[in-house]
Chains A and B, each alone.
Chain A
Amino acid sequence: MMIRTPAPHEPLPSEITPRSVYLNRRAALAGLGLAAGSPLALAQASAPGGGKLPKLPGARSALAGATVMDKPTAYADASSYNNFYEFGTDKSDPAQRAHTLKTRPWTVAVDGECAKPGNYDIDALLKLSAQEERIYRLRCVEGWSMVIPWVGYSLSELIKRAEPTGKAKFVEFTTLADRAQMPGLRSGVLDWPYVEALRMDEAMHPLALLTFGMYGEVLPNQNGAPVRIVLPWKYGFKSAKSIVRIRFTEKQPRSSWEQSAPQEYGFYSNVNPNVPHPRWSQATERRIGEDGLFAKKRPTLMFNGYEAQVGQLYAGMDLKKFY
């Protein structure tokens, strides 16, 4: 075998191929591997998980915007600082209390305006499409943010299989509401069950992720196990957790937060630094675990930095009115 030593002036191959391109190639290869069941399928997660939950590897996604270059948030922070009111309103409540959630057996009902409604067992849903890893920014309406490597596939994969009819203009997501498993339901903070919704074109956007895992493992209960959605361009509360029902509707559903505080939380709730929350500015955010105690907060990006990918969904809309 001939080993060729490059002349000193010759660039190294790694200097020619941009990182994003070769990562995408690897993702494509890994994707093929997943389909064929080869060892390549065991793609390494980009950040370590907690090591206690079953592994759920995902091939790196080739989709534009699916892999941000920001440093992922530590798993300990992402799994201990959560808003999941079914387990209490304090951000430390879900991690302490969500162990009571039973994620097996679990079925997701898909119904409403569609030709093929059905009840999907969670294990069937897991195998419906190839699992991908997507590193998304997460911006909470409260003014903090994280970067999380999620594992899942585009929600559109499931929607397509349900064959929504011409009447299906919106998709509604319902979170489990079981008093026996969720101590937070005893409080009247919201009308349970928790309901969120998207316009059909938003739900069909490839970045809308039907999510089963994070950090290369299945979702911890406090992060919305066994299945949730993740919408990186919207405030975190739009990304419904522990979903039991996905329904196609003709009329715009009323989401839980819209119902409880319409002047504060709109139907769209796209991340928008120019539209302040009535009680605080949305122009800046604090990145959890990264911005030190005395660091200036970082500017919030329009659509959380996903404007190139999702901006056209809202072309011509007055985003101050449809906040």
Chain B
Amino acid sequence: MKRALSTALLSRAAKPLLFLLCVAPLAWLVYAAVANRLGANPAEALIRSLGDWTLRGLWLTLTITPLRELTGLAALARFRRMLGVFTFFYASLHLLAYGWLDMGLSLQDIVDDIIKRPFILMGFTAWALLLPLAATSFNKAIRLLGAKRWQALHKAVYAAAVIALLHFIWMRAGKQDFAEPAVYGALLALLLGWRVVRALRRG
């Protein structure tokens, strides 16, 4: 069983398949926008959906390492980078959709909004933290920075996840609707908690 899984994960088709899976949400959103299937407020639906997929992507990225160590499926490591880069891709689309559809691409309005509203500031900060990670996501960057520094830099992903979660909680606070943020919060607590326990055990 484990060997079969490992072979599947190492197969040539695995990465292209994951690529297609990662593109699928965007493909559906583009189709739905064109086919007028996003409901009465398509702009809001687009912005929120892109935000949802960013969170899902980030959480999946953070799942790779625990899953790899718990299952012993070393081949899973092949997919972490693609998931991480796609997370940044969806985060950027989310930011672009907000800036364009909500703010009419007015830089002044966007800057004012980021300064004035903590919930927007949180979202922007999370994106800004992901930016250097995406920018150093190629092999040469690891060599240029040195593995130690590269790893230290990429620990920023934990901060980005916590801040992104705060952004989501704050957004839902208006409706006091914490059911979904609670699920994301519990999953993130597991993902980060596992890392804390591992670090303590290693001493």
Query: Which one of A187, A264, A286 lies within 8 Å of B41 (CB-CB)?
Result: A286
> Is B176 touching A260 in the complex (CB atoms < 8 A)?
yes
Overall SS of chain A's interface: loop
> Is B40 touching A77 in the complex (CB atoms < 8 A)?
yes
A189 adjacent to chain B (CB < 8 Å): yes
> Is A281 touching B175 in the complex (CB atoms < 8 A)?
no
Identify which of residues 60-91 in chain A touch chain B, using a CB-to-CB cut-off of 8 Å.
76-77, 80-81, 85, 89, 91
Stretch from A121-129, A130-138, A291-299 forming part of the interface with B:
A291-299
Identify which of residues 78-115 in chain B touch chain A, using a CB-to-CB cut-off of 8 Å.
100-102, 104, 113
Instruction: Given A279-B170, A297-B104, decide whether A89 and B41 contact each other with a Cβ distance below 8 A.
Output: no
Taken together as a complex, chains A and B put the C-alpha atoms of A289 and B38 apart, in Å, by: 11
> Is A81 touching B40 in the complex (CB atoms < 8 A)?
yes
- The residues of B that contact A76 with a CB separation of less than 8 Å are 40
Question: Which residue of chain B has the shortest Cβ distance to A286 in the bound complex?
Answer: B43
Most buried by B among A278, A279, A288: A279
> Is B117 touching A293 in the complex (CB atoms < 8 A)?
no
Question: Which residue of chain A has the shortest Cβ distance to B112 in the bound complex?
Answer: A281
B185 adjacent to chain A (CB < 8 Å): no
Taken together as a complex, chains A and B put the C-alpha atoms of A92 and B42 apart, in Å, by: 13
Instruction: Given A189-B176, A190-B176, A293-B101, decide whether A92 and B43 contact each other with a Cβ distance below 8 A.
Output: no
Interface size class of B (residues with CB under 8 A): 20 to 34
A268 adjacent to chain B (CB < 8 Å): no
> Is B39 touching A189 in the complex (CB atoms < 8 A)?
no
**Nearest CB on A from B128, distance (A):** 20
> Is B117 touching A288 in the complex (CB atoms < 8 A)?
no
**Nearest CB on A from B46, distance (A):** 8
> Is A144 touching B41 in the complex (CB atoms < 8 A)?
yes
Give the total of A residues in contact with B, Cβ under 8 Å.
29
> Is B179 touching A187 in the complex (CB atoms < 8 A)?
yes
> Is B177 touching A189 in the complex (CB atoms < 8 A)?
yes
Instruction: Given A294-B101, A296-B104, decide whether A80 and B174 contact each other with a Cβ distance below 8 A.
Output: no
- The residues of A that contact B168 with a CB separation of less than 8 Å are none
**Nearest CB on B from A274, distance (A):** 14
- The residues of B that contact A187 with a CB separation of less than 8 Å are 177, 179
Identify which of residues 203-224 in chain A touch chain B, using a CB-to-CB cut-off of 8 Å.
none
**Nearest CB on B from A43, distance (A):** 27
Identify which of residues 8-51 in chain B touch chain A, using a CB-to-CB cut-off of 8 Å.
33, 39-44, 46
> Is B40 touching A89 in the complex (CB atoms < 8 A)?
no
- The residues of B that contact A286 with a CB separation of less than 8 Å are 41, 43-44
- The residues of B that contact A289 with a CB separation of less than 8 Å are 40
Taken together as a complex, chains A and B put the C-alpha atoms of A80 and B174 apart, in Å, by: 21
Query: Which one of B39, B101, B117, B170 lies within 8 Å of A92 (CB-CB)?
Result: B39
> Is A280 touching B44 in the complex (CB atoms < 8 A)?
no
- The residues of A that contact B116 with a CB separation of less than 8 Å are 276
Taken together as a complex, chains A and B put the C-alpha atoms of A81 and B119 apart, in Å, by: 24
> Is B43 touching A293 in the complex (CB atoms < 8 A)?
yes
> Is B113 touching A80 in the complex (CB atoms < 8 A)?
no
Taken together as a complex, chains A and B put the C-alpha atoms of A190 and B174 apart, in Å, by: 11
- The residues of B that contact A91 with a CB separation of less than 8 Å are 39-41
Identify which of residues 240-290 in chain A touch chain B, using a CB-to-CB cut-off of 8 Å.
260-261, 264, 276-281, 286, 288-289
> Is A189 touching B175 in the complex (CB atoms < 8 A)?
yes
> Is B119 touching A279 in the complex (CB atoms < 8 A)?
yes
Considering the complex of A and B, which 7 residue pairs feature the smallest CB-CB distances, nearest first? A81-B40, A77-B40, A296-B104, A89-B177, A189-B176, A288-B40, A89-B175
Known contacts A76-B40, A279-B174, A286-B41; can you find 5 more A-B pairs with CB under 8 A? A77-B40, A277-B174, A279-B173, A293-B42, A293-B43
Residues of B within 8 A of A (CB): 33, 39-44, 46, 100-102, 104, 113, 116-117, 119, 170-171, 173-177, 179
A-B contact pairs, 6 of them (CB 8 A): A77-B40, A91-B41, A261-B176, A276-B116, A279-B117, A297-B102
